[in-house]
Amino acid sequence: MFHTIAYNGTREENYELVIQQLRALIEGESSFIANLANASALLNQFLEQINWVGFYLTENDELVLGPFQGLPACVRIPFGKGVCGTAAENRKTIIVPDVHLFPGHIACDAASQSEIVVPMVKDGNVIGVLDIDSPVKNRFDETDQKYLEKFVDVIVATL
Ligand code: SME
């Protein structure tokens, strides 16, 4: 049973708390899809000012839509395309302060103004990405990057 918790610490403390919640949610569960579904729901109730949060999973040389919260989204993104495909190809987190200024940005929800994409890397292979969109510009910074990368590490460690 999941109990909602007041995230009333510092940003860092709140992120540590949500990572603990993630661990508790996925501990002992071997279904990767179920864990991603709960992870997206967890982030959706934790993060403010976001309109889409979810996962794309690698299939051959493209990313295919996985569990998410938000409006229906584009299903397939080739490696190297859009923010997601670029982060996957480079195996590096990308923060986009203004999506309108990112060449090749793929607009799934017209409300999106800024975005962060964190690759999920297992044994040197990109198995997918975590993608989060915000309806405000400049929503994501290095603190988000640091903790979202930790968040993703917890998920990848289950594999
Ligand atoms: N904006 C992303 C596409 C995915 S949607 O935002 C959910 C991109 O450019 O890769």
Whether 84 and 96 have beta carbons less than 8 Å apart is answered as no
Q: For ligand 1, what atom is nearest to the CA of residue 85?
A: 10
- Pocket-forming residues, ligand 1, beta carbon under 6 Å: 52, 73-74, 77, 82-85, 105-106, 108, 112, 115, 131, 133
For the chain, the structural domain boundaries read 11-156
pTM of the model: 0.96
Kindly indicate the confidence band of residue 69, based on its pLDDT and cuts at 50, 70 and 90: very high
- Atom 1 of ligand 1, residue of closest alpha carbon: 106
Summarised one tens digit per residue, pLDDT across range 111-124 is: 999 999 999 999 99
**62-70 β-sheet, strand order:** 76-78, 62-70, 52-59, 125-134, 114-122, 94-96
- Atom 2 of ligand 1, residue of closest alpha carbon: 106
Report the topology of domain 11-156: Beta-Lactamase (3.30.450)
Q: Looking at residue 6, what DSSP letter applies?
A: -
Please name which of 78, 80, 27, 72 lies closest in space to residue 54, comparing C-alpha atoms. 72
Please report the DSSP string for 9-50 in residue order. S-HHHHHHHHHHHHHHHHTT---HHHHHHHHHHHHHHH-SS-
Ligand 1 centroid–CA 158 distance in Å is 25
Kindly indicate the confidence band of residue 88, based on its pLDDT and cuts at 50, 70 and 90: very high
